[in-house]
Structure 1
Amino acid sequence: QNSTAHWDYETHGPSCWGDFAQECQKGHLQSPINIVSKDSKPLKGSLSLKMNEDMHATADVVDNGHAIQVNVKDGGKLVLDGREYTLVQFHFHGHSEHTIDGKQFALEGHLVHKSADGHLAVVGVMFNEGENNPVLDNVLGGIGRNIRIDPQDLLPHDKKHYYHYVGSLTTPPCTEGVQWYILKAPMSASKAQIEDMRAHYDHNFRPVQPTTSIKLEVK
């Protein structure tokens, strides 16, 4: 999500990230977190996921050195509290970063949206091992190339139920103020797809962070 100095998930891993970006160590709204469902309060607002359903976006699939990332052009919009965000990229973590009631999922996808004034909103999608996922085939087979993709295909049918909190980027510089929306309904990926994703990046997940200052909401 950013190229701050030299960081990784091993020698210069999460416990050292504060050396590159102070917020990673000193921030109070750091992501990811373990979502404790019973601690969440009902959300008053509403997340509107408008993802250009009829439009197949053009996208470049890149290995950014930390994750398999898909840079999207014309990928859809997200409206939150009257502010419009545009999908700019999505990427995958070889194990989920967020956990729900202590459960870690097989993979986690992050759809990163940005508003015109620089605010970030990330939609998190969990993947369980199960049926083959055509979108992942498209992504894994397209590394280093330009592909056509419908970002809507990355999302479960049920987009109305999710957890929300204000957190941070999960990689340096760990910038806070990110609006997180973790969809409750998981997607599926086959065992082979999960192994293929992990062959690129197996350990690219940050440990869960303290939730003392986090206000968790649920819809």
Structure 2
Amino acid sequence: MLSVDKHKLFFTISEEISGFEKWKPIPSISGGGLGVRYFLHQFHFHWHHKDYLGSEHTLDSLHFPIEVHLVHLRENFTYSDALSTTNGLAVVAVFFAFSGEGDSTDTHPFSYIRNSTNTSGANIMIRPADLIPTRRNVWFRYNGSLTTPNCEEVVVWTILAEPNLVNFKRLSDFRAHLAMDNHLEFNGRRTQPLNNRKIYMRVAQPITYRGHGDSVVNRSSYCLFLSLVYFAFRQIRSWRYV
């Protein structure tokens, strides 16, 4: 389901969502120091009309044109429960950068959005897995807050270092589709001070592929099996999309 408001474009899993309710069980993430399983609740985008802005997070002070947040609820929690519980939410953040290449296909997630209506409540077919870059074995982790009001301090953040790619024309079409009266507002929160937060980095490790074991990503964990951060005791063994 596509919903539009002045803050963000977002997609929410519920019993009424076309396609997502057929995913049994609901897509989830686990491992990587999370401690418990988290289930996908919704994902949304943050943007700016300027190419050098848009993302809420930065890497070495660098902004990206687009940042997508995949928001997950802690197992057995409602959204209300999560908003009042430390680590009630786990959000995976993915940057989008320019690819510099053309792409004539309509399988890119931005194409599905561009080809949809911008009316709230419209159905749209899009795979969360398509939002995740091919290389996803380096990421950052910190405990923080939501970036929309009331900015509750209940989020375990995981930020993928490798951006996904989008070419210039596709991004321009995406922006034009979202613009109101030919004007596209920045819909994010300005990057905030760290305030003594610790940011951990998971460094790249060689990946071996195997077809079984608790480190295999299956259909229920649509995109990520998060390895432990670099100081922990085990490494990621495999990735798989279904």
TM-score range, shorter chain: 0.5 to 0.7
Q: Which has the higher helix share?
A: 1
Q: Which residue of 1 aligns with 2:156?
A: 179
Give, in whole Å, the separation in 2 of the partners of 1:140 and 1:69: 14
Counterpart selection for 2:190 from 204, 207, 211: 207
Q: Which has the larger radius of gyration?
A: 2
What is the identity, as a one-letter code, of the residue corresponding to 1:77?
Answer: S
Aligned positions, number: 160
Cα shift at 1:108: 0.5
Moved over 4 A (4+): none
* Superposed counterparts of 1:121-132, under 5 Å: 121-130=90-99, 131=101, 132=103
Residues of 1 paired with 2:133 and 2:147: CA distance? 23
State the Cα RMSD in Å.
1.8
Structure 1 runs not aligned, ≥5 long: 1-59
| Partners of 1:209 and 1:157 in 2: CA distance | 29
* Pairing of 1:48-127 with structure 2 (within 5 A): 60-72=1-13, 73=20, 74=23, 76-80=27-31, 81-94=34-47, 95-115=54-74, 116-117=76-77, 118=82, 119-127=88-96
Partner SS, residue 159 of structure 2? strand
Structure 1 distance, partners of 2:89, 2:114, is 26
The TM-score with structure 2 as length reference comes to 0.61
Q: What's the secondary structure of 2:37's corresponding residue?
A: strand
**Greater CA drift, 142-151 or 108-117:** 142-151
SS in 1 for 2:30: strand
3-state DSSP of counterpart to 2:42: strand
Shift of 1:88: 1.2
TM superposition shift of 1:92? 0.7
- Unaligned runs of 5+ residues in structure 2 are 14-19, 48-53, 83-87, 179-183, 203-242
The answer to whether the 8 A contact 2:111-2:174 is kept is: no
Which structure dedicates a bigger proportion of its chain to strand? 1
Shift of 1:194: 2.4
